[in-house]
Amino acid sequence: MGVTIAFWILAVAAILGALGVVLLRNVFRAALSLVLCFLAVAGLYVTLSADFLAAVQILVYVGAIAVLIILAIMLTRDVQRGSPGNRLQLPAFIVAALFLAIVAFAIFQTSWQLAELPPPAPTTSDLAFRLLGDGGFILPLEIAPVLLLAAIIGAIVLVREK
Amino acid sequence: MMIFNPDPSSVRQMPTLAPDWPGGFWWHWLLFTVIIIAFVLLLVMGYIWLERRAMGRMQARLGPNRAGPFGLLQPVADALKVMLKEDIVPVNADKIVHLLAPIIAFAPVLIIFAVVPFANGALLADLNIGIVFVVAISSISTLGVFMAGWGSSNKYSLLGAMRNVASVVSYEIPVVLSIAGVVLITGSLSMNQIVLAQEIPFILLQPLGFLIFFIGGCAEINRSPFDLLEADSEIVAGFHTEYSGMKFAMFYLVEYAEALVISALITTLFLGGWRGPILPPWLWFLVKVMVVFFVMVWTRTTLPRVRIDQLMALAWKFLFPLALLNLFITGIEILAWPTAIAWLIPVNIAVMVILVLLWSKLFKLGWGRVEV
């Protein structure tokens, strides 16, 4: 009961936030609206007993990516007069609609498996065993930091003088 | 190193209400919400009083001493004053963002106290991701500062906000790495378990981690000597230049409430939380929080403000490598000597002293050249 109420509040907040990103003319407010969407999605993860995922969602998307977006907006010229218009509205709408159609198709075509067991209480240790234990995802886990490191070094090389 | 994964059933002396019992859940929630709000508001007033009086003494002056005994009512008088002040919003400001900024900056600070234990099991929610929750939620506060800087449409506000994000992004890394050392020893992310694992306060087992957390925490909440985001000689008052009245009071409250959060986290992670002999647990918690804040005031009056390049260099060239080394050494110690060993305490302190001395020799700002 409580979870259902929470789900509807969070779902409405997430959709309003997402609509705000698209419809608001002011870029800065659109970015803040994106933050609301991220927070609501984190709340949805909590209702699904994925507490660690929710914390990481806030940490990565609100703490890092949203702040990065806002920083980029602050460094952009002519942004005080609102969002600069262009003619990509129709193509953007078509691409977004196609993407929505694909996602909706995938969701409705998948036969979802329902677990009988309640979710495990401390999720973090199970997660750690899956990632780092025998037969886990240690290789992808190591490849991702190498990729990020390459990106960081690339950024440093790009901005270096001389 | 003391206890690995303490058994939750054996350590719960205080019967906590089952969270799935509806009535019990709501009473628990109401009680702790009231406690947390009262705790934060009262201690912020206490902090303001302590800071002004202690700074006065350290600077060879009296400090506020007229309102009430020892000037204790000064924060109350200040609070009444700001509430009666006129609320001024700049003409070009983004009104909604300007209004929401202090609220968004303040809410996360209160939410963090949901996982800080005041006694064994006495916390709003004993989340098993406790400390990750704290790190995640505290990152939202930056957004409030950003909104204030942008919404004011003032260049000094914007400069202050930019400096804030630079310092927060840089110092987040060493702070989280120093927390990881504590989590390695405890084997749990829950704040309550972290306190229960501290037979010896972790400041003795993790002296370097404590140092890094203290410096990084002070930098993240922009306390002097890292307060250059509101350096009044350079950028008026930084992000809250255009705020007045109650909204300014909110930012003032956030500043001290964040100091309270860092003190409470240091107490919980490194000083044994509510644990201590004779006195009741909540009193120990209060005493430790006050002592940590006193040290913050002390550093504020002792050290001059850093420049922006020094701020960045300290984070990336000094704290970050030391935090990595600290994590590495802690990992080796846990693998090699997983049981209780008292002799690791002097070893760890010696390692800290050697590393800090060594790094301060290596760490020169651009070898004497002034670079940004």
> Cα distance from B184 to chain A (closest Cα, Å)?
12
Q: Check residue B369 and give its pLDDT.
A: 53
The answer for residues whose C-beta is within 8 angstroms of residue B67's C-beta and 6 or more apart is: B73, B74, B76, B77
- Give the gyration radius of chain B's Cα atoms: 21
In this complex, do B146 and A56 lie within 8 Å of one another by their Cβ atoms? no
Residue pLDDT, tens place only, A10-55: 999 999 999 998 888 777 888 889 889 999 999 998 888 888 888 8
Task: Write out the two tokens for A15.
Answer: 């959709």
Burial class (CB in 10 A: 0-12, 13-18, 19+), B66: exposed
> Tens place of pLDDT for every residue, chain B, 372 residues?
333 444 444 333 334 444 444 556 777 788 888 888 888 888 888 888 888 888 888 888 887 888 778 878 888 888 888 888 888 778 877 788 888 888 888 888 888 888 888 877 777 777 788 888 888 888 888 888 888 888 787 778 888 888 888 788 888 889 999 998 888 888 888 888 888 888 788 888 888 889 999 988 888 887 777 776 666 666 666 777 778 778 888 888 888 898 899 999 999 888 887 887 888 888 888 888 989 999 988 888 888 878 777 788 888 888 888 899 889 988 888 888 777 667 777 778 888 888 888 887 776 655 555 554
Tokens 């044994």, located at residue: B272
pLDDT at site A83: 56
User: Nearest-CA distance from A45 to chain B in Å?
Assistant: 13
Residues of B whose CB is below 8 A from A124: 128-129, 132, 189
Closest CA–CA distance from residue A97 to any residue of chain B (Å): 31
Say whether B96 and A29 touch across the interface (CB within 8 A).
Answer: yes
Interface-testing mutation among A52, A60, A69, A76, with chain B (most B C-beta atoms within 10 A): A52
Q: What is the DSSP string of A91-139?
A: HHHHHHHHHHHHHHHHHHHS-PPPPSSPPPSSHHHHHHHHHHSTTSSHH
Residue of chain B with shortest Cα separation from A63: B139
Collect all residues of chain B within an 8 Å Cβ-Cβ radius of residue A74: 150, 158, 161-162
**Residue in B5, B126, B139 to test binding to A, most A beta-carbons within 10 Å:** B139
Chain A residues in contact with B139 by the CB 8 A cut-off are 58-59, 62-64, 67
Q: Where along chain B do its domains lie?
A: 88-364
**How far is it, in rounded angstroms, from Cα B180 to Cα B169?**
17
For residue A56, list chain B residues with Cβ-Cβ distance below 8 A.
Answer: 132, 136
Please report the residues numbered 163 through 222 in chain B whose beta carbons come closer than 8 angstroms to any beta carbon of chain A. 165, 169, 172, 188-189
The angle that helices B155-186 and B130-138 make with each other, rounded to 10 degrees, is 170
* Cβ-defined contact of A67 to B158 (cutoff 8 Å): no
pLDDT at A101: 95
Cβ neighbours of residue A45 closer than 8 Å, sequence gap 6 or more = A51, A53, A54, A57
Torsion sign (Cα): B47, B52, B53, B54: positive
d(CA A96, CA B111): 36
Query: Collapsing DSSP states into helix, strand and coil, what is residue A144?
Result: helix
Candidate from B128, B140, B147 with C-beta closest to A124: B128
Of all residues in chain A, the one with the smallest CA distance to B126 is A122
Q: Is the peptide bond before B225 cis (omega within 30 degrees of 0)?
A: yes
Please name the residue of chain A whose CA is at the shortest distance from the CA of residue B94: A29
Q: Look at B140 and A62 and tell me if their CB atoms are within 8 Å.
A: yes
If one counts every other C-beta atom within 10 angstroms of the C-beta of residue A111, the result is 4
The letter for the amino acid at B192 is: N
Q: How far apart are CA A32 and CA A141, in angstroms?
A: 31
Separation in Å, CA B239 to CA B95, B106, B156, B158, B255: 15, 15, 7, 6, 12
Are B136 and A63 inside 8 Å of each other by CB? yes
**What gap in Å lies between CA B209 and CA B326, rounded to an integer?**
7
CB contact under 8 A, B150 and A74: yes
Rounded Cα distance between B58 and B18, Å, is 49
CB-based contact (8 Å) between B234 and chain A?
no
Report the interhelical angle of A2-23 vs A27-47 (nearest 10°): 160
- Assess B341–A contact: CB distance below 8 Å, yes or no: no
